[in-house]
Structure 1
């Protein structure tokens, strides 16, 4: 599983101009089963995506984000293996985690 931290490197006016396209891209990533959760940071300096799958696939998809294509955001990926979760989120646990 991955935590992707997006950090805006452009003014919010430029981010907002691409937001509709970014949301469509997000929806496609959810439909493809790659993303589990996403949302804005507070204060509004970027966003967070919780994703699953193969690192190279995720990297390819992040490169297709309209924010990336327009040079508006930087992406930092952290891979982790959840071994514990709150009740109801057991499906997120990694059977390989120790």
Structure 2
């Protein structure tokens, strides 16, 4: 699993111009099963995406499709983690345990 942390590097006014395209990007990857959860940071300095992918390389390739990436609106940090404890309600997200 991966945590993708987006940090805006431009004004919120500029970010908001790309929100509809970004939402389409998110929906595409929810439908494919790559994304588990997403939302904006508070305060609104960026966002977080929880992703299920085969490798960091796959996540990097997915990010390159994001309009925020294409239009240089955000920087991305990718953190891979291996869940070792989880709430039973989310067990179906955890593979190979």
Per-residue deviation, 1:92:
2.9
Provide the C-alpha distance between the structure 2 equivalents of 1:73 and 1:20, rounded to a whole number of angstroms: 15
User: What SS does the corresponding residue of 1:81 show, helix, strand or coil?
Assistant: coil
User: 1:49-60 residue pairs with structure 2 within 5 A?
Assistant: 49-54=49-54, 55-60=56-61
Q: Which residue of 2 aligns with 1:81?
A: 82
Q: Which residue of 1 aligns with 2:94?
A: 93
- If the length of structure 1 is used for normalisation, what is the TM-score? 0.92
Q: Which residue of 1 aligns with 2:21?
A: 21
How many residues get paired? 96
Backbone CA RMSD of aligned residues: 1.1
Q: Which residue of 1 aligns with 2:63?
A: 62
